[in-house]
């Protein structure tokens, strides 16, 4: 190794050491427990790394030093804060992820405020029956400003000076999955109203309590909020808006000590697709709002296949919600939570393809993965005519 290379590696080692030193200097303002933790995970690897540099030389020592730093960072990110008396508000706790999360956090000892659409419904009744006395049920339609304000008053009265540690914006609706051209504008508006505007309204209302506790804001978005997926134009657009809101709030709230995370789960069986009665209503609304020429081009059989697709969705979804619950818990308690979580099989791979590959490759990949069984009537006719020619 020539002198120049050795000098450059030496300065790189010094730079990394100084970075760790700045972290330790910043820790001087923290509590004694946090200081001790940082001393273990920052100072010890630094000293051992410098010892390796002295014993193995600049090149080999630097490799060992950087490896130890990465291990320290990884182990530090896995460290969780104690639950203690931390209070968390969860929206959409009637069913699905919100319902399971309310039970999960209650079992761990959190003070849970479970917001439900129907305080007398089966989901709320099950939470009353199975959870501890720490859990409080809140009548909370996040599209109702009056209910959001009433929930704020009840929560702030209970948490008083300690503040609210976490808000999990989980409530959401799917709408009727269909081609973007076919979906009525009411579906777009409903998705935005619940999945985006409702979450923003709730976040803005409860942020004073989060700032007081320097707590966490966790927004449950979707894989469809990070990548374009056919038949999810309304749902995906609303979740993408929520994901962007999460990113901006993560930057803006960092100065207050509030940490923000977005959760992008893959397909899980949560019941978000609704009931058979709801499907029939949405299907009727979709068909009635179609112009005659659009209905003619797509064909009745294509429209009927949309409902078949909706019925088959749960078959391809994972019934085990533990990856999502684990991701939300980490976002709530990790000393250094991630800005984005992608729990579930297949959630990360399409995102990587979308971000790092050409768009034509991503579109080809998605077309093969989510290829519809039927083709619009006009395209079938055109294809048949071209074959005859």
pLDDT tens per residue across all 389 residues of the chain: 566 655 565 566 656 556 655 554 444 444 444 445 555 555 666 666 666 666 666 555 555 555 555 544 444 446 889 988 899 999 999 999 999 999 999 999 999 999 999 999 999 999 999 999 999 999 999 999 999 999 999 999 999 878 899 999 999 998 888 888 988 899 999 999 999 999 999 999 999 999 999 999 999 999 889 999 888 999 999 999 999 999 999 999 999 999 999 999 887 766 666 666 666 777 777 777 888 888 888 888 887 777 777 666 666 667 788 899 999 999 999 999 999 999 887 777 888 888 889 999 989 988 877 666 678 888 876 655 555 54
Alpha carbon distance 187, 202 (integer Å):
21
The CA angle 280-171-124, to the nearest 5 degrees, is 85
Alpha carbon distance 231, 176 (integer Å):
9
**Contacts (Cβ under 8 Å, ≥6 apart) of 349:** none
CB 338 within 8 A of CB 331: yes
Q: Which of 232, 235, 302, 341 is catalytic?
A: 235
CB 329 within 8 A of CB 109: no
Q: Find the helix or strand (DSSP H, E) in which 219 lies.
A: strand 216-220
Active site residue 235: yes
As to burial, measured by CB atoms within 10 angstroms (0-12 exposed, 13-18 middle, 19+ buried), residue 269 is middle
Give the strand pairing for 216-220 and 259-263: parallel
In degrees and rounded to multiples of 5, residue 193 shows phi and psi of -65, -45
Global pTM reads 0.77
Which sequence spans correspond to the domains of the chain? 3-78, 87-369
Domain 87-369, second-level architecture: 3-Layer(aba) Sandwich (3.40)
**β-bridge mates for residue 116, sequence order:** 139
């Amino acid at each position: 190794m020539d002198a120049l290379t050795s000098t450059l590696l030496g300065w790189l080692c010094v730079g990394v050491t100084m970075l760790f030193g700045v972290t330790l200097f910043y820790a001087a303002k923290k509590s004694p427990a946090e200081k001790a933790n940082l001393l273990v995970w920052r100072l010890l690897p630094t000293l051992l790394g410098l010892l390796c540099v002295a014993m193995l030389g600049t090149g080999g020592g630097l490799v060992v030093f950087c490896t130890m730093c990465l291990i320290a960072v990884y182990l530090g990110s896995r460290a969780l804060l104690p639950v203690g008396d931390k209070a968390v508000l969860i929206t959409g706790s009637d069913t699905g992820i919100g319902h399971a999360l309310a039970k999960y956090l209650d079992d761990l000892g959190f003070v849970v405020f479970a917001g439900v659409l129907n305080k007398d419904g089966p989901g709320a009744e099950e939470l009353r029956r199975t959870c501890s006395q720490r859990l409080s049920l809140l009548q909370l339609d996040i599209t109702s400003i009056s209910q959001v304000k009433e929930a704020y008053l009840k929560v702030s009265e209970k948490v008083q000076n300690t503040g609210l540690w976490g808000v999990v914006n989980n409530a959401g609706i799917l709408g009727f999955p269909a081609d973007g051209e076919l979906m009525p504008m009411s579906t777009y508006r409903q998705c935005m109203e619940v999945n985006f505007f409702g979450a923003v309204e709730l976040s803005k209302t409860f942020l004073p309590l989060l700032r007081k506790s320097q707590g966490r804001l966790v927004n449950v978005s979707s894989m469809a909020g990070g990548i374009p997926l056919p038949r999810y134009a309304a749902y995906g657009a609303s979740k993408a808006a929520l994901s962007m809101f999460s990113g901006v709030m993560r930057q803006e709230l960092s100065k207050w000590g509030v940490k923000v995370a977005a959760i992008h789960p893959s397909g899980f069986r949560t019941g978000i697709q609704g009931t058979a009665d709801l499907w029939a209503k949405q299907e009727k609304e979709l068909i009635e709002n179609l112009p005659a020429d659009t209905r003619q081009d797509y064909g009745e059989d294509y429209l009927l296949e949309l409902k078949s697709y909706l019925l088959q969705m749960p078959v391809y979804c994972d019934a085990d919600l533990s990856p999502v619950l684990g991701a939300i818990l980490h976002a709530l308690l990790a000393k250094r939570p991630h800005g984005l979580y992608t729990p579930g099989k297949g959630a990360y791979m399409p995102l990587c393809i979308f971000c790092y590959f050409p768009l034509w490759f991503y579109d080809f990949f998605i077309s093969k993965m989510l290829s519809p069984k039927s083709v619009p009537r006009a395209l079938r006719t055109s294809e048949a005519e071209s074959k005859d020619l």
